[in-house]
Chain A
């Protein structure tokens, strides 16, 4: 039984696509907070393992598909 090494994932936002709908910060308040105008500020660093499922959901739920989950370089 192979043990899968957990992938290092990082959250990024496409600032052009983002329209400050605010779903991502509702789902992931640990990692995403709102600035003065409602746009997301994403905490830097890899997404903790326990939050990865929620992060995937936030990416899928973003009304403009502006939130991205990428492999950490």
Chain B
């Protein structure tokens, strides 16, 4: 599926293994530069379900945190669309490109949209054709007006050049930690509260305006745009068999060169952190974001960065956040603060989470800062069991996993805290920044 040959040396050529695929420079690519670099998008018209097969063979999984096979999602929406009969104007399916990035520690979507908006927009157009969508929304984080302007400019460029099918509506995702969650985003687009909804119905069956809806992270769509051009075999040239392709990760915390990096999936964690200048004395890394998990350092140095490998190690990659904790911080204190943040930002719709998350945060705060109650560890275990898989979204699951891995990774600190109270490090300024107020 390579594009027809062009004049410049690497125009339209697939990026070689070792070359960056998604973000190729410091400056955002204009439409012309984008076409020069990657070649034109192979638009084949509506009903182009061959793309779904290609994405399936490529093994692309969602890059928004769920790691759900992209092709399976697309096929579900395409099937639902077919079941509703021929695509008439206003009744086809809908594509929602999710660039909300409500996770405070993540900035990969922001960077991607600032540098390669046309890849994302190509992905929207191509997947829309594959699933029979006649409408698309691109949801942006409200935190970066400059990025929003760049994206708007890119959309305008495409309109002028005649690539305006389907029309893409730019949306600023409402503030709120859960606003970028799949069903919450759809709820917001339907004019309701940006809070998760109960499934069924699945978005693929009934989402925006009760139409079959494909919600994909913007990075996933960018990969789709490349797979459409260069094929599944090319996509699998980097990564592992179980986790093919490349991914964007956000490395923050005590590293010399924090920021967003594109890495082949399966790269050992240690190598990723080393490239970002991980400072010596780092004691742990928080993977996946604020509702993610802790891994000990340097013990987890060899763990490959991919969802399946991380899960095998008891962690989760999620949206690719790697926040490194310095030795000078207290992991229990940091965890307590993050749990407090999660509890404050719960949707408060489901009883177990509404009751259990604040209790969990309080228990961890007791361990970190105050006088822990009798058998607080057992209490945390009980709470974690009570809130996991009992809500409409995965916030409580994330909180429980964060608490569990914290008590595991910081076991030595735990013993010290329980024996002789909070350590000095607990009172230092927070290493992991907690957004103030309801973020």
Interface of A toward B, CB cutoff 8 Å: 14-20, 35-39, 41
Contacts A15-B390, A15-B392, A16-B392: A37 and B351 contacting too (C-beta < 8 A)? yes
For B11, the chain A residues whose CB sits under 8 A away are none
Question: A36 near B350 (CB under 8 angstroms)?
Answer: no
Question: A14 near B198 (CB under 8 angstroms)?
Answer: yes
Our pick among B198, B352, B392 for the contact of A35 (Cβ within 8 Å) is: B352
How many angstroms between the C-alpha atoms of A35 and B179 in the bound complex? 28
Question: A15 near B355 (CB under 8 angstroms)?
Answer: no
How many angstroms between the C-alpha atoms of A14 and B352 in the bound complex? 12
Question: B350 near A37 (CB under 8 angstroms)?
Answer: no
For A37, the chain B residues whose CB sits under 8 A away are 351-352, 355-356
Question: A15 near B391 (CB under 8 angstroms)?
Answer: yes
Q: Report the minimal beta-carbon distance from A7 to chain B, rounded to whole angstroms.
A: 18
Q: Report the minimal beta-carbon distance from B422 to chain A, rounded to whole angstroms.
A: 27
Q: Report the minimal beta-carbon distance from A14 to chain B, rounded to whole angstroms.
A: 5
Question: B350 near A15 (CB under 8 angstroms)?
Answer: yes
Question: A16 near B352 (CB under 8 angstroms)?
Answer: no
For B282, the chain A residues whose CB sits under 8 A away are none
Which of A18, A35, A41 has the most C-beta atoms of chain B within 10 angstroms of its own C-beta? A35
Closest chain B residue to A70, Cβ basis? B200
Question: A38 near B198 (CB under 8 angstroms)?
Answer: no
How many angstroms between the C-alpha atoms of A39 and B356 in the bound complex? 11
B24 proximal to A (CB < 8 A): no
Q: Report the minimal beta-carbon distance from A8 to chain B, rounded to whole angstroms.
A: 17
For B392, the chain A residues whose CB sits under 8 A away are 14-16
Which of A17, A19, A37 has the most C-beta atoms of chain B within 10 angstroms of its own C-beta? A37
Which of B197, B351, B390 has the most C-beta atoms of chain A within 10 angstroms of its own C-beta? B351
For A15, the chain B residues whose CB sits under 8 A away are 198, 349-353, 390-392
B386 proximal to A (CB < 8 A): yes
For the complex with contacts A14-B198, A36-B355, A39-B352, 4 further pairs of A-B residues with Cβ separation under 8 Å are A14-B392, A15-B351, A15-B353, A15-B392
For B198, the chain A residues whose CB sits under 8 A away are 14-17
Question: A16 near B197 (CB under 8 angstroms)?
Answer: yes
Question: B355 near A16 (CB under 8 angstroms)?
Answer: no
Question: B349 near A36 (CB under 8 angstroms)?
Answer: no
For B356, the chain A residues whose CB sits under 8 A away are 37
Sample 16 A-B pairs with CB under 8 A, ordered by A number.
A15-B349, A15-B351, A15-B352, A15-B353, A15-B390, A16-B196, A16-B349, A16-B392, A17-B198, A35-B352, A35-B386, A36-B386, A37-B351, A37-B352, A38-B351, A39-B355
